[in-house]
Amino acid sequence: MKKELLLASALVSTMGFASVANAVTATMSGMHQTGLQGDDTDAAGDSIISHDFTSDFSVSLSETTDGGIGIASSFMLANESGALHTAGLTLTFTDGSKLDVINGGNAAKTHDISVPGGAGSAGVTVTSTNNTQTGLDFFGEATAIGVEWHSAADFMADGLKVSASVSFDDGAAADGSVELESGWGVGATYVTSAGDTALTVGAGLADSEAKDSGNDVDGSNGFHVGFSAVTGDLTVAAAYANGDKIIPTGEKAIYDNTVTKVGVKYVAGDITLSAGMTSAEGDDGTLTAAGGSNDSQDITELGISYAVAAGVTANLGWKDIDAKNEGVADATGGSSWYVGAVMSF
């Protein structure tokens, strides 16, 4: 309770600088993606399905106090590809730094390097018992009772930005399931140039503690590091992550999960060509011990995007997944293609 009261006091005292206003500024944004996806898995024949479930509509709210402090939040009205998301509050200070309060997030995720891949939504779903994590920030959890601080640009050095976060126990009971208890994260992004090349380096480190009704369990933890180099219309990027991950469903964990990503993108007028490769593996087991052989996924992606008009992009993508579950070839792996369009506003 003391931690929650401290957070509430900090929020109220900061917002106390605001003057009374009639209404905040509201802006709307959203997107709709529709297309066709074809799958060819190792366990079944070819299939073609409609792929039109990725739509969302969100509202952003913002205002600035007389003292120059920005206050912002947002919420979703619709999200057909997943759960609705509601942001906390973001306070922007006159020196350029920011503070996310309530649902602050984990600072390690903030500094992921974006690695080019495919286009659209090509994808094959491997078996649910293959727990390989293929993203860079699979270990970065946070509870809603948390804050994340972002420095201004050029923090202590030209081109450097840093973030730090902490979250606390939300009091949810661990009745037969794993619950996140607390977490912290740090991250940094450094931007510089080498001749005609703009170079960005990003890294993050995070740790969390979990609780379970029947076992003493460790939390998720790990780090990621990567770089992106942009020379004219060409982008080359690579990243690496390593860590452990608690999986609430089925009360399992994956240990020493590694992810390596490389990608390239080239922009030629209205056309963008992209390609990417991901290699990931990890050893899944109980909450207290690793299992047998590693699960793994090797992913290859190709994509072509064409800017048809303002806010309208046509996508053609292809993806291949070579998966292994407990060291044995996973028959649900295979290849997939996608053709469709995204409309955004």
User: 50-63 pLDDT, tens per residue?
Assistant: 665 678 899 999 99
Query: How far apart are the C-alpha atoms of 145 and 250, rounded to whole Å?
Result: 25
- What pLDDT sits at residue 52? 55
- What mean pLDDT value characterizes the chain? 84
CATH architecture of 2-344: Beta Barrel (2.40)
Q: Indicate whether this model's pTM tops 0.85.
A: no
Measured over the CA atoms of residue 277, residue 282, residue 284 and residue 288, the dihedral's sign is: negative
Question: What number of CA atoms fall less than 13 Å from residue 217's CA on the CB side?
Answer: 32
Range in 9-18, 127-136, 298-307 the model is least confident about:
9-18
Q: How far apart are alpha carbons 204 and 141 in whole angstroms?
A: 13
The tokens describing 123, both together, are 């994808």
Q: Tell me the pLDDT tens digit for each residue of 288-330.
A: 667 778 888 899 999 999 999 999 999 999 999 888 888 787 7
Cα(36)–Cα(48) distance, integer angstroms: 7
Question: What does the CA dihedral 86, 153, 135, 299 come to, rounded to 10 degrees?
Answer: 130
Whether the pLDDT of residue 113 is over 70: the answer is yes
pLDDT digits (tens, 9 = 90+) for 66-112: 899 999 998 888 777 767 777 788 999 999 999 999 888 899 999 99
